[in-house]
Amino acid sequence: MTLKPIHIIGGGMAGSEAAWQIASAGVPVILHEMRGTRGTEAHQTDQLAELVCSNSFRSNDHTANAVGVLHEEMRRADGLIICTARDHQVPAGSALAVDREGFAEAVTAKLEAHPLVTIVREEIAGLPPEDWDSVIVATGPLTSIALAEAIRAHTGENDLAFFDAIAPIVYVETVDMSKAWRQSRYDKAGPGGDTAAYINCPMTEEEYNRFLDALLAAPKTEFKDWEKNTPYFEGCLPIEVMAERGRETLRFGPMKPIGLTNAHNPTVKAHAVVQLRQDNALGTLWNMVGFQTKLKHGAQTDVFRMIPGLETAEFARLGGIHRNTFLNSPKLLDRQLRMKTIPRLRFAGQVTGVEGYVESAAMGLLAGRLAAAERLGRKLEAPPPTTAMGALVNHITGGHLAAGQTFQPMNVNFGLFPDIEDYSKTGADGRRLKGKDKGKAKKMAQAIRALEDFDAWLAGEAVVAAE
């Protein structure tokens, strides 16, 4: 039997993952990616799955961390993105961070080599043709204006958008290691056993206050009139926006000094610490953790060189800012990730209202499996909401926390999971758990339940395929 191809618009995290899942199910797929013919404000290459604002997939702990659970679910489902990320991992403490270039090149090569994947470099400048009877729109945070306007015109919904900011990247040889030192917070080992995955630049109280004053006074990027009312995503605030919220905000955020001991002066506690995280496999590039910014480029070099250890730093890339667009998914999408009024269109990735590389890829994985099952004449439901993937679907399609009038992007977190009562509230010594210990025990129980239920979902999917 000759199967009609499924079309995917967008070759980022979600689109690449969806293409892999569809092709792995034996269904042909055509992946349409405009980069190569037209660029975006944030991307620098035409590689598929290019990482833009960070190289981190965040926590890799699947025992008590929601994003780690999502990692593990994707791994068990043969996820292209998560498996390739682990192949191109660089040290980052307990987080999963990757060599950007090697990762994107590997994803591109795998898809180019798959016999059922066709990659077409073109922009889809409106709703896809009627004869494309199964389409996944995975255009990400930088959906082309023409396509976004076509969707908006059809739905009648006002654009919902926020800004995503990009952190600067430093050449490691230009960091003054007589002032900075290598250490992970609390010496916590990452997947590779490295307890010194970050470069730390300490500040005294006086240095911190001078830096803060300069940061607040520095010239910022001016937004166009149509952008000015666009809110920021709280999980990716520009450094200067955080600083505007109070002089101590940064010290309790990305510049917190806890869990770190200055190797050059162990007896003196830093007032604040700026951390750098490895950005490529060679270890030559390091990004400034939490330093997303809308400062003008000239101001960035002046202000960031005030940080001890970065006085002579050279920047491989300065920070920037871009607009991010997403659907009012609880009103527009069903649990199959289809547009209710045009069911031949599925959506995946950040455009659905999930936030983060891992979450975007997860929705691509699911959209790909749902579309492939439909093409093969099978009925496949989304995973249950007790799983990380199912909790995200629940959020974006109107379940649990999301409401059509107040919908905002969300990273995966245990607050999206159904509550759980069936877990031990006592420790090994028989004493009743309290505070953080009780919370950790609950998260561990939710993680165990999530992976058990996800395995059951995968087994059920295999049964459907066999039938």
N residues, the chain: 467
Residue pLDDT, tens place only, 143-187: 767 777 788 787 766 645 666 667 899 999 999 999 999 999 988
Return d(Cα 165, Cα 300) in angstroms, integer. 13
Q: How far apart are the first and last CA of the chain?
A: 17
pTM of the predicted protein model? 0.78
pLDDT at 284: 85
pLDDT at 230: 67
Closest by CA to 382, choosing from 270, 282, 460, is: 460
Residue pLDDT, tens place only, 129-139: 999 999 999 98
Phi then psi for 276, rounded to 5 degrees? -115, 140
The two tokens of residue 408 are: 């905002």
- Give me the tens of pLDDT residue by residue for the chain, a chain 467 residues long: 689 999 999 999 999 999 999 999 999 999 999 876 665 655 667 899 998 877 889 999 999 899 999 999 999 999 999 999 999 999 888 889 999 999 999 999 999 999 999 999 998 888 899 999 999 999 876 676 777 778 878 776 664 566 666 789 999 999 999 999 999 998 887 666 678 889 999 999 999 999 999 999 999 887 666 556 667 766 678 899 999 999 999 999 999 999 999 999 999 999 999 999 998 777 888 999 999 998 999 999 999 999 999 999 999 888 877 666 788 888 889 999 999 999 999 999 988 989 889 999 999 999 999 999 999 999 999 999 999 999 999 989 876 444 555 677 788 988 888 888 877 776 667 677 777 788 888 899 999 999 999 999 999 987 666 66
pLDDT at 437: 80
pLDDT at 390: 96
H or E segment and range at residue 107: helix 100-113
Return d(Cα 417, Cα 386) in angstroms, integer. 6
pLDDT at 326: 82
* 90-125 burial: b if 16+ Cβ within 10 Å, else e: bbbbbbbbbbbbbbbbbbbebbeebebbbbeeebbe
pLDDT at 209: 97
Return d(Cα 183, Cα 373) in angstroms, integer. 47
pLDDT at 2: 87
pLDDT at 126: 84
Angle at 409 between CA 405 and CA 411, to 5 degrees: 140
